[in-house]
Structure 1
Amino acid sequence: MKKQTLALIQADALRMDCLQAVQALALPQAMICAGFVRNLVWDAAHQFSTSTPLNDVDVAWYSSEQIDPQLDLELEFKLKQQLPNVQWQVRNQARMHHRNGVAAYASAKDAVARFPETATCLGAAMNDKNEIEWRVTAGLADAWALRLRHNAHSGLALSVTQRRIEEKNWLARWPHLRLMPQLLG
């Protein structure tokens, strides 16, 4: 699954440009995560001929010393200058536990591995050798199996996942997604 997913990313010019733009910022523990990978997998599993347009590109990074939210906005601006057609969302995960009302994250990897649904717990980055490397693959099996499952390790209420599924209209876009029993109640 990892190699197949990497091949999909490498074949997508926009995703490669995004990874290179984030790499150029040299942020600690930075990765592009969530729908950036998940949507591409779901599109492939649904045999779509074109990728679903990205609503945004989520960048997770981590520094307990640089927690001013203004810095994230400045980083978004820099990325927007490089790729103006991309809606960037940059967040230092060292402070995001406050917004999410959960225990503090120990790293960017920890934060992404605790996203609300398992299929979203995915993150990749470009390394110093210009190779894509996985930072988080916790949700890869569920993404490829088209399983929507609440992440019990997220610290978030089940209702958060249920609300996200509805608000993001995932079941209409990807009709073969399967809600796991915990989400059917």
Structure 2
Amino acid sequence: MNVIEQTHHLISKDEFRMACLKAARTLALPQWFLAAGFLRNAIWDHQHHKEQMTPLNDIDLVYFDTQDLSHATELAYQEQLIRLLPHVNWEVRNQARMHLNHGHLPYHNTEHAISQWVEIPTCVGVSLGYDDQLVFCAPFGLDANWSLNVAINPNSPQPNVFTQRIAKKHWLTIWPKLVLVSNV
């Protein structure tokens, strides 16, 4: 089984993640994905043979809509999701405006935005089609996630931010088999 098939199997058997994907799908947002830790942590938990999933601080729903860049719209989407799954800490962000927060040139689409995130294994997302098929966004592939390698994204080389995020999120304590890879 290749990493896409492994990831598909892992997510499709996860009732919580499938419920989140079904809730997100109801918004019918353009180019949407549940991203970053939603997918990354599931793989890392599996690779660490955890019986209980590591609690998510939040669930990042990202999408791309150049027609409505308002933060108020993102908050309205969050409220809709909270009504569907009130126990989830949703964070909805339109990637068409997020370049402003990071000092980047405008992103072309959701995948381009995801490809700019700090760590390679964080540059991942999954959505659910109306045919109930999982769709993955992984600009660098999923191999780093499955091999537990954590490297700085060469598209956004920020060694200080990389180090701070790993320490702040306690990744090496939660997932001690992670390997920090120096690539810049």
Q: Which TM-score applies when normalising by structure 1?
A: 0.94
- Deviates most, 143-152 or 131-140: 131-140
Tell me the distance in 1 between the aligned counterparts of 2:182 and 2:16: 35
Look up the match of 2:177. 176
Distance in 2, Cα, partners of 1:46 & 1:179: 16
The residue correspondences of 1:7-156 to structure 2 (distance < 5 A) are 7-136=9-138, 138-154=140-156, 156=157
Structure 1: runs of 5+ lacking an equivalent: none
Post-superposition offset of 1:161: 1.2
| 2: CA distance, partners of 1:48 / 1:128 | 31
Task: Name the CA distance, whole Å, in 2 between partners of 1:117 and 1:180.
Answer: 10
Segments of 5+ residues of structure 2 without an aligned counterpart are: none
2: CA distance, partners of 1:133 / 1:18 = 14
TM-superposed deviation, 1:136 = 2.7
Q: Secondary structure at the match of 1:55?
A: coil
CA displacement at 1:139 relative to structure 2: 4.5
> How big is the alpha-carbon RMSD for the aligned residues of Structure 1 and Structure 2?
1.3
Deviates further, 60-69 or 157-166: 157-166
Q: What's the TM-score once normalised by structure 2's chain length?
A: 0.95
Runs of 4+ in structure 1 deviating by more than 4 angstroms, as ranges, are: none
- Tell me the distance in 1 between the aligned counterparts of 2:19 and 2:34: 12
CA contact under 8 A between 1:123 and 1:137: conserved in structure 2? no
| Alpha-carbon contact 2:127-2:136 (below 8 Å) kept | yes
Superposed displacement of residue 137, structure 1 = 5.1
The code of the aligned residue for 2:148 comes to L
Work out the number of aligned pairs and report it: 182
Match of 1:160 in 2: 161
In the alignment, is the contact (CA less than 8 A) between 2:12 and 2:18 conserved in 1? yes
| 1:146-170 CA distance string (max 9 Å, x none) | 111000113x522111111111110
How far apart, in 2, do the equivalents of 1:139 and 1:115 lie?
Answer: 14
